[in-house]
Structure 1
Amino acid sequence: MLVEPIIQLTREPLNRDALIAAVSHPSIGGIVIFEGVVRDNARGKQVRYLEYDVYEEMAQQQIATIIAEARQHWPIERVAIAHRFGRLEIGEASVIIVVATPHRGEAFEACRYLIDTLKSTVPIWKKEVATNGEEWVEG
């Protein structure tokens, strides 16, 4: 049963449990969750925190397009994608993708496609603030 995707862009902390509950259903055999978390290091630097910026309207549209493309390849019945913006501290989730399909293999493949495509095409930018300066970085 195909259900409208959940797409959230927010400054608030992401709620993994609510996203999982939103895609759960008795017909689902596989739910895969990807959670991207702010780490304390990157490319040899000690990271203090991250700042994300987003072009919200375009990001919403592009995420919807990515989901539609993924649904052409995998039987995604339910999907939720949430991304934070603003300042994020070490250990906080920046992105959560939850994919529900009839079988686990499809869920894994679709989830990987969604995160990889989101990171390379959606207008969300990341600034790393490190102990020795700050810079905007890809992905």
Structure 2
Amino acid sequence: MSDRVLVEEAPNALQPDELLKRLPTEGCGAVVSFIGITRETEGTETVLRLEFDAWKDRLTPVLSRLGNEAIVNFGVRFVALSHRTGAVGPQEPIVAIHVASPHRKEAFEACSWLIDELKKQAPIWKKEVTSAGETWKEGLG
């Protein structure tokens, strides 16, 4: 992990504001954040919780690599990422991404790219538990 990418493990709780406080911002004029939360419904069903399982030995290296790629590809300065594992109830945060950059355009682009790539590449699997039962969702993230 470079000193420009902060990856925080979040097996029990995710604190997006605390992660943001630890994001360096020297030389930056913008911070863009994405915080994904659990919805209360999926279609007509009530969501009771999401359960995330991860290949824990690979999760931090993958998130770190994605953060470094965002720095190189978008010219941003710093990235902080965290993703919950375990059970996450409605309205609780699942994922937090913070990007610090000299300019807003690059920060927005990097943040958008990061959540898309995290969902494609992070070794995380999601089971949705609703009032109708349990369903493993397709794909990673």
Amino acid at match of 2:62: Q
- 1:66: how far off? 1.4
Matched, 1:121 2:121: yes
Q: Deviations over 1:19-75 (max 9, x none)?
A: 212124342111001000001122443211111101011111111221222222112
> Distance between the aligned counterparts of 2:120 and 2:63, measured in 1?
11
Equivalent residue, structure 2, for 1:10:
10
> Distance between the aligned counterparts of 1:70 and 1:25, measured in 2?
16
Unaligned stretches of 5+ in structure 1? none
Are the counterparts in 1 of residues 6 and 64 from structure 2 also a CA contact under 8 Å?
A: no
> Distance between the aligned counterparts of 1:133 and 1:73, measured in 2?
41
Matched, 1:87 2:78: no
Q: Deviations over 1:87-124 (max 9, x none)?
A: 11101000000000100110000000000000011110
Amino acid at match of 1:81: L
TM-score (norm 2): 0.90
Aligned residues: 138
Unaligned stretches of 5+ in structure 2? none
Equivalent residue, structure 1, for 2:78:
78
Q: Percent identity?
A: 36
Secondary structure of the residue that 2:62 maps to in structure 1?
helix
Mean Cα displacement is larger for which, 43-52 or 125-134?
A: 43-52
Are the counterparts in 2 of residues 3 and 77 from structure 1 also a CA contact under 8 Å?
A: no
Equivalent residue, structure 2, for 1:53:
53
- Compute the RMSD of aligned alpha carbons: 1.5
> Distance between the aligned counterparts of 1:18 and 1:114, measured in 2?
19
